Chains A and B, each alone.
Chain A
């Protein structure tokens, strides 16, 4: 009896096996099964849990830094300041020199945005003044650049130039990629001082250094700087060409304030050439951009310029 059952069972097993072998012999199914197995193997190799590379404290400071940057970009400067301060405290508690430098620079940049220049200088000086801590030249370069920006805001162009030189020196030591923006700031300082040729020279240097895609903003800044200098020099056609190039980049980057500046620049070239109608067209475009972006200062400046333009136009007609 048992033997019969075993025999019967064995026959059933053989039947299942024959069916499986039949499926296996079908080349399409075979290939499909093989592909699936290989794909599964690859997936299992790539998948799985990845060990964290940052400690919990580092992750926390990185998160605080990220949140602060996000708040800064939204214009919520007080929140950004508090978050940077938190990150700074934690970095100090673990003596993370790079983290300390980064957060001090960011706090200074935030104070600058808040219009608190004294505190901005105070923060930056902690890095730039002689200290037993050896800060990374890259961060020293960024701190010196910010210091130059602060002096530029104060219209102290000589001190701004002095600090751009220091920033350049630190940048060269660290082989940083910020040379372009430092040249731009230097060019702007020369332009404000009335040295148009130096401004064009540094604008060109900036343009050369900002070739890479990651420096598109600064490339547009270089072009605008050269255009401004050429406008001062009276090379209107040339200036317009540079403004248009800058405008094209700024549009791809979606920078409203810069787009408005470029449009104003083009309008100014027409105005200087006596073509008030074209100038007005560009000013109106700049006004529309400025109003839509909520830039109140820019809007009032453009409105004043349009009014002036319209008044002179009416005067000429009369």
Chain B
């Protein structure tokens, strides 16, 4: 059955009205698309520049390019050159090109532990020329925590080796230190004996000057021998001490160097830690907020029971 009749007064000019309506709708859609395009920078003039990296690890198409922490572009394309190096094409918002100079450097680093990789371009010096379209800038990869740890490991290795050597040197039963201690122990054991000799000598002093003289001579000989042994030992210790001291000094130097490296690494890393934690916290909060909001939306909310406090169901047979 016909619902509308062309003769009906209400439908006079209906075709024109519908046509206008469709045109307005289409115009609205085009405007919205243009607006979205502007927001996404589709119409923003861009300049292509390049850098060459040994590896494309951590660099992806779409990776943000920042200058002084401000997003100025993105990685447009990655390709391999003739010598298998990675040629990275950066698409930079042309209005920011004035800060990118021929001595500017591109650095790849991560924004926190869980952050995205970002390419940071350092502003060049004022007297350097501005990089032209298709120009190439230098690239360097920021040290990652694993790299720093690896370097520290390499620094600590010789120190540990030295310490091990010293301990081995001290512990060696045939080594100088052990021998010195052994000889000192022997000397200390000989002292009571010498004292006994002296006592015997004094007791027998009355028996005759000759006998006493002879005995004194013998004691003197023994004492002379002991003194000579001690003298030898002292000389030996004198000879060995500089070697030990030298080794100890070397180890101390290594330890000091390592400590400085650790301090340096800590100084580099420490300021980033709060921001890393903050980023992680923000991300977690954001995710929670999104989940919480999603839970409140129909029809998801129909499947989620509102939380309530309840007692544990204690079974009568437990």
A99 to B306, CA, bound (A): 16
Residues in chain A near residue B299, CB distance under 8 A: 46-47
A146-B18 CB under 8 A given contacts A62-B307, A99-B309: no
Specify which chain B residues have a CB less than 8 angstroms from the CB of A14 in the assembled complex: 15-16, 19
Known A46-B298, A258-B317: A72·B20 in contact at CB below 8 Å? no
Distance A225 CA – B18 CA, assembled complex (angstroms): 78
- CB of A50 within 8 A of CB of B16, answer no
Which B residues are in CB contact (< 8 Å) with A13?
A: 15-16, 19-20, 23
A263 to chain B, nearest CB (A): 15
Instruction: Tell whether B267 is near chain A: CB-to-CB under 8 Å.
Output: no
B314 within 8 A of A: yes
Does B83 sit within 8 A of A, measured CB to CB? Answer: no
Tell me which residues across on chain A come within 8 A of B315, comparing CB atoms: 181, 217-218, 221
Proximity bits, A2-25, B CB within 8 Å = 1, else 0 = 000000001011111110110000
Does B308 sit within 8 A of A, measured CB to CB? yes
Give the dominant DSSP class at B's interface: loop
Per the bound structure, the CA–CA distance linking A47 and B293 in Å amounts to 13
Asked if B312 is at the interface of the complex by the 8 Å CB criterion, the answer is: yes
Q: Which chain A residues lie closer than 8 Å to B40 at the CB level?
A: none
For A28, list chain B residues within 8 Å (CB): none
Q: What A residues does B22 contact at CB under 8 A? A: 16-17, 20
Determine whether the beta carbon of B15 is less than 8 Å from that of A18. yes
Does B17 belong to the interface (CB within 8 Å)?
yes
* Cβ of B203 under 8 Å from chain A: no
> Which residues in window 48-94 of B have CB below 8 A to A?
none
Give the CA-CA distance A91 to B301 in the complex, in Å: 26
Query: By the criterion CB–CB under 8 Å, are A66 and B307 in contact?
Result: yes
CB pair B307 A59 closer than 8 Å:
yes
Specify which chain B residues have a CB less than 8 angstroms from the CB of A15 in the assembled complex: 19
* Measured CA separation A229–B318 after assembly (Å): 18
Partner of A52, one of B14, B20, B296, B313: B296
B residues at A contact (CB < 8 Å):
14-23, 293, 296-299, 301, 306-318
